[in-house]
Amino acid sequence: MTDRFRLTLAQLDPTVGDLSGNAAKARDAWAQAKAAGADMIAFPEMFITGYSTQDLVLKPAFHQAAMEQIDRLAAECSDGPALAIGGPFAERGRLYNAYHTCIGGKVVARALKHFLPNYNVFDEVRQFNRGAIQGPVSVNGLRIGSPICEDAWYRDVAETMVESGAQVLLVPNGSPYYRGKFPVRMNQMVARVIENEVPLVYLNMVGGQDDQAFDGGSFVLNPSGRLAVQLPVFDEAIVHVDFEQGPAGWVAVEGAKASFPTDIEQDYRAMVLTLRDYMRKTGFKKVLLGLSGGIDSAIVATIAADALGPQNVRCVMLPSEYTSQSSLDDAAAVAANLGCKLDTVSIVKPREAVSGALAHLFDGLPQDLTEENIQSRLRGLLLMAQSNKFGEMLLTTGNKSEVAVGYATIYGDMAGGYNPIKDMYKTRVFATCRWRNDNHRDWMLAPAGAVIPQQIIDKPPSAELRPDQRDDQSLPPYDILDGILEMLVDGEASVADCVAAGYDRATVKKIEHLIYVSEYKRFQSAPGTRLSKHAFWLDRRYPIVNRFRDDT
């Protein structure tokens, strides 16, 4: 009987739908495992297809092609370590989320996901059938059980596998990031270890997919619950982990333990990663954005420059007669600090043309929000024209506070292909700007230093759509607004809960109303990085037509 076993963990970034590309990544990693003398290499959940596929996995041509790709991979990797990889499995009209173990050129075992998540961003009850709990697979004398992601959050699957003889639990995951999630994962996995008294390997994928960031952070726990190995967050990594069998059973040999960044750094890294992968995986090379001289566009420009390199980010200033000189100067300073190109396109004459075209219809009516929105929509039109002409993807710059209450113009400043700060409240935008000015990491492609001028952080926010306009003329101060939004949106609190927390009832009711009537805007908004468990889109799904109001 073997007394030592080497397992290679492949914490990698697949691309949804790129079956051949994901298989090539797996082959390259398998070759590294073979060279390192590994007994087995493991990949994350649904690695061959990428994750999450949403309803794409229901397409028979797609899941059949994925299964065939796994069979080919097994045949090509027959003369070395066993290969365990996530992918779909269809049988007798039923489709499963499966984990395939390949040995000697064949798929010798499949674990089928038993508990299918159907909350937050997950719709697996819609996409897959529930599989029966499988026993462990034997690899070079070591019996390995594989609860797939959600399966490890309940004691049943792991317990059944250990009772069936599993000596190590290998948990493949497609677990997306939200702020503060890692301790939640760790606590759940420690519980499984304590209950079953066997080592546990938590293997997570990394990378961006649409709005979601997969943060990696894979780890290995010993039977005591003690951490043996910790992989980094947000980085691809191929790590070899050795297990030894002693009188008390199998244990993992202690290895490297990566340190963890702060929450604000992890959020920033998630925004950089998702934008970078969104561009790479959709085939775009360059972006443009409207740079207003305000804080939101400044942080989006910085995220874009860090993700893609300043040479691939073009900023456009679109001034009107209401644009202050300080905004022009601040926008120019941001672009210069980042090393991005800055172009200027005035909207004064286009606005005059549109106003003239509508004059016979609007004659005698007072100016109102209509005229303000014309400015924003002209900016959206001019930016989209440049996007079409130059093949640059347009970034939008609305923060979560604005997105929540509709303080943005549909078909105007909401126009674009991606919004990195969509799930970041305004108060956190300020904190993130300060953090980025004080910190630089090797994964950032823009220059170090105070790239966002202090005057942008300090000045009162304004849309500059009318003379002397300030955001706090239409909305409560952002510290109050964000406090209410965090309760109503993130906490699903009642109006009474907000009042009990010290907020003015009339203000809370106004914000509640704005949240509900802005649903149609969010329905048509660009995707953006998910940073919380209550991001707009898949996490929080409300009807557009909705007459409910909380009168508590």
169 φ, ψ (degrees, to nearest 5): -105, 125
Q: Per-residue DSSP letters for 25-44?
A: HHHHHHHHHHHTT-SEEE--
Residue environment code for 65-89, b if the CB has 16+ CB neighbours within 10 A, otherwise e: bbbebbeebbeebeebbbbbbbbbb
d(CA 324, CA 301): 20
Please check whether residue 343 is in contact with residue 315, taking contact to mean a CB–CB distance below 8 angstroms. Answer: yes
Distance, C-alpha 356 to centroid of its chain: 44
Q: What residue type is 86 in one-letter code?
A: G
Q: Contact 115/157 with Cβ under 8 angstroms? A: yes
In the annotation, is 45 catalytic?
A: yes
Q: 101 forms bridges with which residues in the sheet? A: 84, 109
Tokens 């969010």 locate to 522
Tell me the sheet residues that pair with 290: 316
Distance of alpha carbon 28 from alpha carbon 40, whole angstroms: 14
**Do 393 and 280 contact (CB within 8 A), yes or no?**
no
DSSP-assigned letter for residue 490: I
Separation between Cα atoms, residue 480 and residue 503, nearest integer Å: 8
CA 15 to chain centre: 14
Q: List the one residue out of 109, 25, 23, 98 whose CA is nearest residue 57.
A: 98
Count how many Cα atoms sit within 13 Å of the Cα of residue 18 in the half-sphere of its side chain. 15
Decide if 106 is catalytic: no
* Token couple for 396: 């939008």
Contact 307, 279 (CB under 8 A): yes
* DSSP result, 58-109: GSHHHHHHHHHHHHHHHHHT-SSSEEEEEEEEEETTEEEEEEEEEETTEEEE
> What is the residue type of 247?
P
Give just the sign of the alpha carbon dihedral 155, 160, 165, 168. negative
What does the DSSP assignment read for 247-263? TTEEEEPP--B-----H
3-state SS track over 143-156: EEECCCHHHHHCHH
CA separation for the pair 42, 50 (Å, rounded): 15
Indicate the pairing of strand 82-91 with strand 94-103: antiparallel
The active-site residue, picked from 102, 149, 433, 498, is: 149
- Whether 510 sits among the annotated catalytic residues: the reply is no
Selecting among 113, 281, 400, 426, the annotated active-site residue is 113
**Catalytic residue positions?**
45, 113, 149
